[in-house]
């Protein structure tokens, strides 16, 4: 039933294309004996890269690393970022671009396109769904990965096969429409932080007080600060400043709006405050950045 990915030959499947693009294979991987699915773990790829269209749709779970992974969205990098615990579905034949700021740890699970056609669920994979909350899919993928690092045994393989079947059924079923209010949750979960990150990235110019952000997460301000810092690696204030500066960087390179207006639009107390923060974050002044980008 299960075969080590390295033993599956040199078939030009999705994982082989990813390996060719990254110039290295997965850290861990298994494939079904009939080649109808492949499950792989990838780590330590950093930077910007482009994947050509893959022959099969792929379910991706962000396992660990920094929560600042973006995809190309029409004419720029997405405002929404992925985070540990988020899932993404990449349709077959769709070229994608990715920006990874730091170490990334992901699981990929691909299903043979013919299998999907046979089950008449093509509509589930007609478009890309990036960085959505999927607690069950994430939990299944993590449990499968955990089992793969255990010693080989018939019992382990049977359990992994059952988990794979469950993950495959979950992926092919598509979104259930359930939201946070539809089922009980613990006091903290990754999708709550994801909602906070999206709120900041969508409108970095807003005040985003600690009370407002903790209300989005549904926890007390003091508890929110602790779990946010643990999940993101930055305090809420530091992340908000980072989001504002990144938006300013985009505006400097893509518009002729004056630096004073940009500083005011993004909530900085003064242009000098903005200049200092920009230089501290990017290592150059806003004027120098605008000249450098314009000169390319």
**CA–CA dist 284, 282 (Å, integer):** 6
142 in the same domain as 229: no
Average pLDDT, the chain: 83
pLDDT of residue 65: 77
75 or 242: which carries more pLDDT confidence?
242
Mean pLDDT value of segment 62-74: 83
pLDDT of residue 286: 94
pLDDT tens for each residue of 245-257:
989 998 998 888 9
- Percent of the chain with pLDDT strictly greater than 90: 32
For the cut 80, the answer to whether the pLDDT of residue 94 exceeds it is yes
pLDDT of residue 274: 94
pLDDT tens for each residue of 212-252:
998 888 888 888 888 888 877 889 999 899 989 989 998 99
Could you list the residue range(s) of the whole structural domain that residue 99 is in? Answer: 2-180
Choose the final residue of a domain: 143, 160, 180. 180
CATH number for the domain spanning 106: value is: 2.60.120.10
pLDDT of residue 59: 93
276 in the same domain as 137: no
pLDDT of residue 191: 66
Report how many domains make up the chain: 2
**CA–CA dist 15, 25 (Å, integer):** 8
Classify residue 4 by burial, with Cβ atoms within 10 Å: 0-12, 13-18, 19+: exposed
pLDDT of residue 179: 40
Lowest mean pLDDT among 65-69, 96-100, 223-227, 245-249: 65-69
213 in the same domain as 175: no
pLDDT of residue 296: 58
pLDDT of residue 66: 72
Confidence class of residue 285 from pLDDT cuts 50, 70 and 90? very high
For Cα atoms 280, 97, 238, give the angle at the middle one, nearest 5 degrees. Answer: 25
10 in the same domain as 122: yes
45 or 143: which carries more pLDDT confidence?
143
286 or 73: which carries more pLDDT confidence?
286
213 in the same domain as 135: no
pLDDT tens for each residue of 157-185:
899 999 999 998 888 876 544 343 333 33
216 in the same domain as 89: no
Choose the final residue of a domain: 158, 180, 202. 180
Task: Please give the backbone phi and psi of residue 38, each rounded to the nearest 5 degrees, phi first.
Answer: -140, 135
Mean pLDDT value of segment 198-202: 86
109 in the same domain as 42: yes
197 in the same domain as 171: no
**CA–CA dist 133, 122 (Å, integer):** 21
218 or 19: which carries more pLDDT confidence?
19
Comparing C-alpha atoms, which of 265, 272, 276, 277 is closest to residue 237?
Answer: 277
252 in the same domain as 274: yes
pLDDT of residue 189: 58
205 in the same domain as 130: no
Cα torsion angle, 58, 63, 64, 67, sign: positive
Choose the final residue of a domain: 130, 148, 180. 180
35 in the same domain as 158: yes
Task: Please give the backbone phi and psi of residue 259, each rounded to the nearest 5 degrees, phi first.
Answer: -65, -35
CATH number for the domain spanning 276: value is: 1.10.10.60
Task: Please give the backbone phi and psi of residue 67, each rounded to the nearest 5 degrees, phi first.
Answer: -90, 45
């Amino acid at each position: 039933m299960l075969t080590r990915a390295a033993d599956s030959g040199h078939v030009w499947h999705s994982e082989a294309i990813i390996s060719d693009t990254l110039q290295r294979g997965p850290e861990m991987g298994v494939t079904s004996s009939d080649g109808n699915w492949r499950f792989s773990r990838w780590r330590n790829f950093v930077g910007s890269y482009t994947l050509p269209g893959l022959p099969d749709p792929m379910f991706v779970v962000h396992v660990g690393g920094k929560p600042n992974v973006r995809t190309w969205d029409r004419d720029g990098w997405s405002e929404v970022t992925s985070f540990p615990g988020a899932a993404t579905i990449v349709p077959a034949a769709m070229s994608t671009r990715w920006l990874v700021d730091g170490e990334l740890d992901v699981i990929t699970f691909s299903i043979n396109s013919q299998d999907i056609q046979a089950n008449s669920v093509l509509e589930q994979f007609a478009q890309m769904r990036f960085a959505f909350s999927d607690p069950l899919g994430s939990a299944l993928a993590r449990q499968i990965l955990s089992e793969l690092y255990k010693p080989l045994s018939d019992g382990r393989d049977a359990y992994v096969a059952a988990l794979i079947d469950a993950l495959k059924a979950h992926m092919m079923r598509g979104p259930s429409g359930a939201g946070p209010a539809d089922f009980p949750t613990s006091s903290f979960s990754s999708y709550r932080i994801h909602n906070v990150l999206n709120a900041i990235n969508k409108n970095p110019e807003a005040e985003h007080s600690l009370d407002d952000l903790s209300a989005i997460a549904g926890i007390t301000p003091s508890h929110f600060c602790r779990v946010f810092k643990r999940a993101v690696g930055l305090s809420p204030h530091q992340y908000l400043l980072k989001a504002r500066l990144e938006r300013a960087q985009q505006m400097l390179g893509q518009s002729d709006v004056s630096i004073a207006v940009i500083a005011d639009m993004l909530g900085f107390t003064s242009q000098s405050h903005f200049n200092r923060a920009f230089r501290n974050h990017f290592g150059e002044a806003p004027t120098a950045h605008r000249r450098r980008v314009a000169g390319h």
